[in-house]
Amino acid sequence: MKSRFTGRLIVLFLSCVSLQQAAARAAEGPPAGSDASRQEAFNQVEVIFQTTVFSGERFPACDLNIPRAVKPLLGAYTLKNTFYDAQYTAVTSAAKPGRYGCVTEITPAGGTLSRRYTTLFRRPNDSAIPWWRLNATFEAKLPAELGIDPAIAREQSDIVSGHLTRLLGESLGRNSGTAAVLAALYEARPGIGKLPRREDPMTQEKRWWFGLKQKLGQATLYPYKSFLPDDYEKDTQAKWPLILFLHGMGECGTDLKKVDVHGPHKNAAARKQFLMIYPQCPPGEWWTPVQVNALLDEIVAKYRVDAQRIYLTGLSMGGYGTWDTSMSYPERFAAIVPICGAGDYADAARVKDIPAWVFHGGKDPVVPVVNTYDMVRALGRLHGRVRYTIYPDLQHDSWTVTYNNPELYTWMLAQKLGQPAQLRMEKIPQEIPGDK
C-alpha cells in the first residue's frame, strides 16, 4: 500500500511540472524599448539552479540559461538573488528544512530590471536518496493516443513505474515544480485526508508566491474592464450590486477587448442594475482564487459596491474559477452562477450556504455535464442552497441563453449576504438530463 501511495505522489509531481515552471520563470519588466517579439525572446531566458531540492544551510548556486538567439538582446547583465523562508523573511541561509523562495533580479546593461521566481526545498538530511530501492507502483492510465493496449500497460506496470521513478529522481535537480510539491507535502500533517483542490500543491504554490509579491510590492492584479450603470454618477452616495465575471479560456490574453465577447453585460436591463467587472486572465494561465480575491478588494475600495450583494459568475474556465474562488472565499459572495464548469465536489461543504444557480448544456463535448451533476448532487446531500438548469440539447455554449434570461438577474438581486432567498435542496436529484 505504501509503494502505491508513493507512486501516486510521483505522478502528482510530474503532472505539476509544466505549470510550476511557467509560473516560476515568469518575467516582470521587459528590456527598455522592446517590442512584442523582443519580449517573447527575452522571456526565453531562464534561471537555472544547480538543484532546487538541496540539503544543508547553503543555498544552491544559479545562473541564466540564455538561448543563443537571445544573447545579443541581453548582452552584459548583473544577477542578484534574494532568498525568503516560508514566512516571507529574507534570509541568507536555509536554517530549517522546508520551503524557500528565490527572487532573482536580472539587470541587462542599459536595460530594465526583470525578475524570476523559483521555489526551492531543503530536505532534512544530506544522505543520498536510493531511488533504485523505492519500488514504487504506479496506477497510471496511458493516453489512448499512444496506441498501447491498456491490458499491456497494466501487466507491464513495473516498466512504467521504473521509468517514472527515475524521472522523479532526475527532476529533483533543476525542476522547481518538484520542489513546490515536496514543500507542500512537508508542510502537510498526517490525518487530514485528501487535500481539496483549493489546498493542492500548485494552488498553495500560487498563493504563497502571491503573498510574497504583495509584501514586496511586486504583485500585479488582473487587468479588467468595468461597466458602470447609467445612473452610477447621478447619486454619489448610492451603492451598487456587483457582478464579477470570469471569462473562458478563449478570452485569455493581453488584449482587454477580448473579455466582453460574452457575458451578462449584453443584457441591457442588467447593465442598468449592476456594476460589472470583467478581469482578464493572462495567456496560458488559469483563474487563481487568491488573485481574484485581491482584485475584488481593489474593486470594493475603488467603486461604490454594495458589499452585501456581490455575485460571482463565469463560463467554462470561468465556471471552474467561480467554483474554486467561492470555495476559497465563501464569505464574500451573496450568490454564485457557475456555467459549464466543474468544482471540487468533495469540498462542497464550503459553499453549501451560498445561493448557487448552476447551468450546463446536456450535450457539452468540452466540459461534460456530469461535472455539474456531481456538484449539484454533492450540494444536495448537504441540503445546500442550490438550483440547476440543464439545457438538454445545448452543447458547450450554455452561457448565451443564460445571460439573456432576465430571471437570472431577478434571482441574483433577491440574494443578499447573510440573507439568502434561495431555498435549500431537500431532494437529491437522481438523474440530470444529459448526464452519462
Helices of type H across 345-417: 370-381, 399-403, 406-414
Domain ranges across the chain: 1-218, 224-414
Beta bridge partners of 225: 278
How far, in Å, CA of 103 to CA of 31, rounded? 18
Q: Which CATH architecture has domain 224-414?
A: 3-Layer(aba) Sandwich (3.40)
CATH 2.60.40.1080 given to domain 1-218: yes
State in Å, rounded, how far the first CA of the chain is from the last one: 32
Provide the residue-wise pLDDT of the chain in tens; the chain has 436 residues: 333 334 444 334 434 444 344 444 344 444 444 455 555 666 778 898 989 999 999 999 998 888 777 777 777 888 999 999 999 999 999 999 999 999 999 887 777 788 999 999 999 888 777 766 666 666 667 777 778 787 877 777 777 777 766 666 666 666 778 889 889 888 887 766 778 889 888 899 999 999 999 999 999 999 999 999 999 999 889 999 999 999 999 999 999 999 999 999 999 999 999 999 999 999 999 999 999 999 999 999 999 999 999 999 999 999 999 999 999 999 999 999 999 999 999 999 999 999 999 999 999 999 999 999 999 999 999 999 999 999 999 999 999 999 999 999 999 999 999 999 999 998 887 766 555 5
**pTM assigned to the model:** 0.83
CA distance 47 to 171: 15
- Same topology for domains 1-218 and 224-414, yes or no? no
Residues 6 or more apart from 264 whose CB is under 8 A from it? Answer: 243, 245, 270, 274, 276, 313, 403, 408, 409
Q: Is 436 exposed, middle or buried (0-12, 13-18, 19+ CB in 10 A)?
A: exposed
| Of 157, 154, 128, 168, the residue nearest 16 (C-alpha) | 168
Helices 201-216 + 17-24 axis angle, to 10 = 10
SS3 call for 324: helix
